[in-house]
A and B are shown apart, each in its own frame.
Chain A
Amino acid sequence: MMNAVTRAYLRAGSQTVSNVLKPATVASAQVQRNAHTDLQVPDFSPYRRESVNTPNRKDDSAESRKAFSYMLIGAGAVGSAYAAKGLVTAFVSSMSATADVLAMAKIEIKLSDIPEGKSVTFKWRGKPLFIRHRTADEISTERSVAVSTLRDPQGDDQRVIKPEWLVVIGVCTHLGCVPIANAGDFGGYYCPCHGSHYDASGRIRKGPAPLNLEVPAHEFPDDGTLVVG
């Protein structure tokens, strides 16, 4: 093992040797190397670990020394994995809808404001939303309709959660006009553009429209409120 000090000493020594030898016998400029067994290797023992201080000692501490190094590297890896996860999460969540968009995506309606037999229009996600408080009469009429006679066969119980409340999007499935409430041959909705008649369950009964009025996802968190969206 050579360190910087011994190497510099060797170089200096060989130069002096070759300078002495050159004019006399050796014609070539080859550097002659001598043994220099008298050189003192500096003592590094204050800098060495206790376990490897003596070179002749059998080294049984390698595993614990490696364990320490790997522990430090592993701790760094854990920290950077946590940081990377935070970074990726931040970028991915920046792609989701913003809070103002999410706030507009839901509408909460107080049901006590809507009298029985009335259909009220709200604006929801840029579209008209019809909430209809149906009378017992209307409910029994819609329940008794034979599903097989309908153009878009859907039972009334498939379209409403609570029978008193019909929630539909007020866009005619024909060409997208807004139907008029409480009009038409079936007492529900009537589209003035091309004469589609919907019943009090929002189902198409007469006219050009191919499908029933769309029922959005809605729920009743308690007796007095309705949340659409």
Chain B
Amino acid sequence: MKAIYNTLFKRTSTYAVGIMASVFFFERAFEVGSTTLFESVNKGKLWKDIKGKYE
């Protein structure tokens, strides 16, 4: 905790860069996670699930 504060949060420059860098990972994780959740809730109703019936 102390080390994180001293290296990252103490200066505004490192704090801002840290936020910008973590947005990339957050975005990827959030989008993959929400897509997985959506597909697991709607399992069996999606086109990729019923595609086999029409081909």
Contact = CB atoms under 8 A, between A and B. Distances in A.
Contact of A74 (B1, B2, B18): B18
A67 B30 CA distance: 24
B20 interface: yes
Interface stretch (A75-83, A167-175, A178-186): A75-83
Nearest to A74: B19
A67 B2 CA distance: 7
B19 A78 contact: yes
A223 interface: no
The B interface, classified by DSSP as helix, strand, loop or mixed, is helix
Contacts of A63: 1-2, 5-6
Contact of B1 (A68, A77, A78, A82): A68
B5 A67 contact: yes
A82 B23 contact: yes
Chain A contact residues (Cβ within 8 angstroms of B): what range? Answer: 10 to 19
A68 B1 CA distance: 8
Q: Which of B6, B20, B23, B26 has most chain A Cβ within 10 Å?
A: B23
Given A67-B1, A68-B1, A70-B5, A85 B18 contact: no
Interface string A83-120: 00100000000000000000000000000000000000
A85 B30 CA distance: 14
Contacts of B19: 74, 77-78, 81
Given A67-B1, A67-B2, A74-B22, 16 more contacts: A63-B5, A63-B6, A64-B1, A67-B5, A67-B9, A68-B1, A70-B5, A74-B18, A74-B19, A77-B19, A78-B19, A78-B22, A78-B23, A82-B23, A82-B26, A82-B30
16 contacts: A63-B1, A66-B5, A67-B1, A67-B2, A70-B5, A70-B9, A71-B9, A74-B9, A74-B15, A74-B18, A74-B19, A78-B26, A79-B26, A81-B23, A82-B30, A85-B23
Interface of A: 63-64, 66-68, 70-71, 74, 77-79, 81-82, 85
